[in-house]
Amino acid sequence: MTDEPTTVLLVDDHTIVREGVRKILESEKDMVVVGQAGDGRGAVALAAEKKPDVVLLDVEIPGDDVETTVTRLRKVSPRSQVIILSMYDGAHLLKSLLAIGIRGYLLKSVSMYELVSAVRSARVDDGRVLLSVSRESLAQAEQEPSEVLSQREREILELTAQAMSNAQIGSRLSLTEATVKRHMRNIFAKLGAVSRIDAVNKAMSASLIRGVDRMPSSR
């Protein structure tokens, strides 16, 4: 292990979050924040310039979808280890991000100690993946794509893709609006989606639903 401090790039569109994380990390003698970005494009540009050891990347960063941003980060700075910070414990998103080489996926509910430990561990080239997710999410990530969503959830998403409201979907499927909302919350959690459009696009990318055209980006 080198005696040089671990360099970190913080990527989050909320300044107060970035400043809070910076203070946490820089209270450690072996860490230094070398840059901060509020969107995906800025993150890639800074990574290319600074070549940080670790990139802490908010999953909801404005700009391209997070998978595209991670791919570009790894292209401009291959040595940088990317750790995702997320509010969402979504199996599909976790699986897709692991496939493109993230080093860690942490829920924003982790403690300061867990965050610092993850950043410190990410620099060690031992091939470990650092996860802070539920057992259910891990189990779902190992399933085939068609098993992630139930048949009812896929039906609801296909109707969502047709721009139907929850009330309209409920009427079509003989469900109450409250039941549709509950299914939508489960869909968001499973796919790591942050909006109805995002859920539809992620489901279509994974071939979980069919018969509709891809909806436009929510960004």
Residue 27 has pLDDT above 60, yes or no: yes
Q: Are 78 and 179 part of one and the same domain? A: no
Q: Are 132 and 168 part of one and the same domain? A: no
Residue 210 has pLDDT above 80, yes or no: no
> Which range of residues forms the domain containing residue 150?
145-205
Question: Alpha-carbon distance 67 to 186, whole Å?
Answer: 21
In a domain, 215, yes or no: no
Q: Are 104 and 190 part of one and the same domain? A: no
Total domains, the chain: 2
Query: Which residues face 56 on adjacent strands?
Result: 10, 83
Let me know: does 100 contact 73? Beta carbons within 8 Å: no
Question: Of 95, 125, 140, at which residue does a domain stop?
Answer: 140
User: What pLDDT shows up at residue 166?
Assistant: 93
Rg of the chain over Cα atoms, rounded to whole angstroms, equals: 19
Using one digit for the tens of pLDDT, what is the confidence trace for 135-174?
555 555 555 454 578 889 989 999 999 999 999 999 999 9
Using one digit for the tens of pLDDT, what is the confidence trace for 111-142?
999 999 999 989 876 667 777 755 555 555 55
Residue 38 has pLDDT above 90, yes or no: yes
In a domain, 43, yes or no: yes
Question: Alpha-carbon distance 194 to 99, whole Å?
Answer: 20
Q: Are 11 and 34 part of one and the same domain? A: yes
Residue 105 in tokens: 């996926």
